[in-house]
Amino acid sequence: MKNKVVLITGTSSGVGLNLSIILAKSGYKVYASMRNLAKKDNLLSAAKEAGVDVELMQLDVQDMASIQRCVDDIIAAEGALDVLVNNAGAGFIRTTEQATEEEIQWVIDVNLTGVIRCTKAVLPHMRKARSGRVVNISSVGGLVGQPFNEMYCAAKFAVEGYTESLATYVQPNFNIHFTSIQPGGIATEFANNVLQQFAGTGGMKDDEYKPILEKYIGGARQRAASGEAAESYQTSEEVALVVADCINMDNPPIRMRTSDWSEEFAKLKTQADPDGKLQQEDVIKRFLT
């Protein structure tokens, strides 16, 4: 039996790197992609240590040509693409008033439009095969808005709507499953990149928002010092294991949290329909039957 083929975006570190290794060890043919192949060393070292092979691919989620080229090359080599994991993303801390037009467009393009581009590229092949999985790595920030994260949360909320919408008609008609994964905090360089991006674009502005932001950052530091943050943060490997479990399910959920903390944090939004299946069934009944 031919190994299933998976394409993962954003695999230079964190969840994408760990998921590439986990799925390769499970027998998947893994195409691990990243925007900058100069950052490949961590992935290659992890693959060597695990005794597995992964195929490296250049893919920039902001460039449709690079996405299409990557997908075309995989189809030419394998004849199929069974799973897409839209993992590439970027955090962003800045108030609406302070954010520039360019920053707003960037965070939405990376976190939302990149997901749409990659999904658009794989759907024709999955539809032809009448089989496939698209897993979008979202966030509890796609369910619950949080201070100073409104641009990021807006993009992730949109990913939730995009995932739910596809699940109402593409899934039942073409056997392509869609799932949004909603982690809480992940202890990876993702958070460091957010802070570096924040500092590199002017840091904390001296305005009326400053004391509120100081309270926000101070609270985060206090929780970290007290050990409270350990309850909310998972390792990237822990999240990747949840994603791998989802990929291997016969009937995966529409949405899925990755920890007890993320379940508790989002419970006011999810307790009536934790996995999204009830809402999916209701929408199909209302509009397509």
- In whole angstroms, give the CA distance from residue 35 to residue 128: 28
User: Burial level of 254, CB count in 10 A (0-12/13-18/19+)?
Assistant: buried
Residue 100 region by backbone torsions, left for phi larger than 0, else alpha for psi between -120 and 50, else beta: beta
Q: Token pair 């799925």 is at which residue?
A: 23
User: Burial level of 214, CB count in 10 A (0-12/13-18/19+)?
Assistant: exposed
- In whole angstroms, give the CA distance from residue 144 to residue 129: 36
Residue type, 63: D
Active site residue 152: yes
- How many CA atoms, within 13 angstroms, populate the side-chain half-sphere of residue 45? 6
Residue 280 in tokens:
């999916």
Residue 21 in tokens:
């290794």
Q: Token pair 């570190």 is at which residue?
A: 13
Catalytic residue among 31, 152, 162, 233: 152
Coil, helix or strand at residue 185: strand
User: What DSSP string runs through 80-135?
Assistant: ---EEEE---------TTT--HHHHHHHHIIIIIHHHHHHHHHHHHHHHHT-EEEE
Residue 85 to residues 5, 15, 106, 204, 233: CA-CA distances in angstroms? 11, 11, 21, 34, 21
Give catalytic residue positions.
Answer: 152
